[in-house]
């Protein structure tokens, strides 16, 4: 990747990061976005990485910016790809609806009791240490080689998830791959119109 392309990538990520303060949200079926993203991923990720999916067709709706939800999936998948680029492996996406109660509040400080759409993306890559997972969502933090990332990808994901009232967690160990779990509040009824929100 040339210096110009690296600069372009960083500018695009920074712009996306800054735009999270104002987004137009509407009821969206996350399962449709996930399927679209998987179709794209299958066309660009090498055959050495197997893509598996377990998508509940009735997972439901969330109030969201569909473009940003798509970006979440692509950023996480890109991160997983880099973790398996040399050795190959398996990338698995799971989507379902879940109920959380008081016993689940220790998952994340951003979680409340209620109904969530849960998206899990797991890879069989090299994994990360606890020290790395504690910093993984910090802007500009990266474990990638020079020229392979700006360090903004997961920070953007974290910002988008927070802006949508959700939570993201990561479970990883060296040599055992990584599991990223995103929970977004589900909606039971479609609002009549789009909603413009500020973070």
Average pLDDT over residues 91-106: 80
Average pLDDT over residues 94-99: 94
pLDDT score recorded for residue 7: 53
Does a structural domain hold residue 199? no
Residue 12 has pLDDT above 70, yes or no: no
Tell me how far CA of residue 176 lies from CA of 47, 75, 107, 123, in angstroms: 21, 20, 21, 9
Beta strands in 30-162 (DSSP E): 49-55, 61-64, 89-100, 114-123
Q: Is 47 helix (H, G, I), strand (E, B) or coil?
A: coil
Comparing 84-88, 90-94, 98-102, the range with the smallest average pLDDT is 98-102
Does a structural domain hold residue 92? yes
pLDDT score recorded for residue 103: 57
The domain spanning residue 113 has which CATH number? 3.30.565.10
What does the pLDDT look like over 143-187, one tens digit per residue? 555 445 445 678 889 989 998 999 999 999 998 999 999 999 999
pLDDT score recorded for residue 199: 46
Does a structural domain hold residue 78? yes
Q: Is 198 helix (H, G, I), strand (E, B) or coil?
A: strand
What range does the domain containing 38 cover?
3-191
Q: 108 and 187 in contact (C-beta within 8 Å)? A: no
Question: What is the tally of structural domains in the chain?
Answer: 1
3-state helix, strand, coil in the chain (%, to 5): 35, 30, 30
Comparing 27-31, 65-69, 128-132, the range with the smallest average pLDDT is 128-132
pLDDT score recorded for residue 190: 55
Residue 67 has pLDDT above 70, yes or no: yes
Tell me how far CA of residue 150 lies from CA of 73, 79, 128, 198, in angstroms: 17, 12, 18, 26
pLDDT score recorded for residue 20: 52
pLDDT score recorded for residue 134: 83
Nearest to 131 by CA among 72, 187, 174, 87: 174
Residue 198 has pLDDT above 50, yes or no: no
Residue 21 CB coordination number (10 Å)? 11
HSE-CB at 169 with a 13 A cutoff on CA atoms is 12
Q: Which residue has the tokens 């990360």?
A: 128
More confident of the two residues 1 and 78: 78
Does a structural domain hold residue 108? yes
pLDDT band at 29 (very low <50, low <70, confident <90, very high): very high
Does a structural domain hold residue 198? no
pLDDT score recorded for residue 150: 47
Average pLDDT over residues 33-61: 93
Distance CA 96, CA 31 (A): 9
Does a structural domain hold residue 67? yes
Does a structural domain hold residue 196? no
């Amino acid at each position: 990747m040339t210096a110009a392309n690296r600069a372009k990538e960083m500018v695009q990520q920074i712009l996306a990061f800054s735009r999270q303060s104002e987004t137009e949200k509407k009821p969206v079926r996350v399962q449709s976005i996930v399927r679209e993203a998987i179709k794209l991923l299958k066309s660009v990720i090498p055959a050495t990485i197997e893509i598996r999916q377990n998508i509940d067709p009735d997972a439901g709706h969330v109030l969201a910016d569909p473009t940003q939800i798509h970006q979440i999936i692509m950023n996480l998948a890109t991160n997983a790809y880099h973790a398996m680029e040399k050795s190959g492996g398996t990338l698995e996406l799971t989507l379902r609806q879940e109920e959380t109660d008081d016993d689940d509040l220790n998952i994340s400080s951003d979680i409340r009791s209620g109904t969530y759409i849960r998206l899990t993306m797991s890879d069989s890559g090299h994994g990360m240490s606890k020290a790395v997972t504690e910093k993984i969502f910090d802007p500009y933090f990266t474990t990638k080689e020079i020229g392979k990332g700006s360090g903004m990808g997961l920070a953007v994901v974290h910002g988008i998830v927070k802006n949508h009232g959700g939570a993201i967690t990561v479970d990883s160990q060296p040599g055992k791959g990584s599991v990223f779990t995103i929970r977004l509040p589900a909606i039971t009824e479609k609002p009549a119109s789009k909603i413009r929100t500020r973070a």
